[in-house]
Amino acid sequence: MSFTGPSVGSGGRRAAFEFGKTHVVRPKGSHQATIVWLHGLGDNGSSWSQLLETLPLPNIKWICPTAPTRPISLFGGFPSTAWFDVGDLSEDAPDDVEGLDAAAAHVGNLLSTEPADIKLGIGGFSMGAATSLYSATCFVHGKYGNGNPYPANLSAVVGLSGWLPCSKTLKSKIGQEEAARRAASLPILLCHGKGDEVVPYKFGEKSSLALSSNGFQNSTFKSYGGLGHYTIPEEMEEVCGWLTSKLGLTG
């Protein structure tokens, strides 16, 4: 369920990639929640910030970072903005844990500087959704894949047209009582189009099943007939209603 291949430089360590520009949409009303929203492969933070600004969610501050430009195995090494490396389009492809950790740490750092009384969330589209879901598992586990502590307390995670990386190792992360408690209470919304030709619908479906079967009791899966690899107003309305409810937004 991962579109990833190993991307390792000399000596087994990969060069650090520089993240692009971060776009911020400030709340039009009282600031009650901050959500980092992650774009898909080849995109940037600007395009999503323009869409998020139009949503009827005046109490949310949106932070839309831009992924580093890196060589992508799927494109034969051609560079593109990406949160991690993407290789073979198959469920058995290895996960780029180093890249996922770097992306999740960047997001965690963005959230860790928000005021203590603000609810925090992560969302994304496609590869951004995969990074959001990976971040959710790091939060539940209390640490990243490399063992460094996870710094933010998440209240909501949204994944549109994405997949769950490292799903096969999820069970081992939920072993402790504290992790199981966090998994059971973390609200997660997955949305996927049945006509998705880029990230197949079954990837979203299996990701949802992997979450629910590993103790993520507060996860919701919404499917959209005929929807391809893009978003539609109906889906964004669903996201707005869900976030308002799960984050307890008022006014």
Known catalytic residues are 126, 196, 229
Phi-psi region of 108 (alpha: psi -120 to 50; beta: other; left: phi over 0): alpha
For residue 132, how far is the Cα from the chain centroid? 2
- 223 sits in which H/E element: strand 219-224
Q: Exposed, middle or buried: residue 20 (CB in 10 Å: 0-12, 13-18, 19+)?
A: middle
Q: What is the 3-state secondary structure (H, E, C) of 38-93?
A: ECCCCCCHHHHHHHHCCCCCCCEEEEECCCCEEEEHHHCCEEEECCCCCCCCECCC
Asked whether the beta carbons of 176 and 145 are under 8 A apart, the reply is no
Residues 6 or more apart whose CB falls under 8 angstroms from that of 22 comprise: 45, 63, 64, 65, 66, 110
Alpha carbons 64 and 45: distance in angstroms, whole number: 5
Amino acid present at 212: S
- Of residues 232, 231, 229, 206, the one with CA closest to residue 219: 206
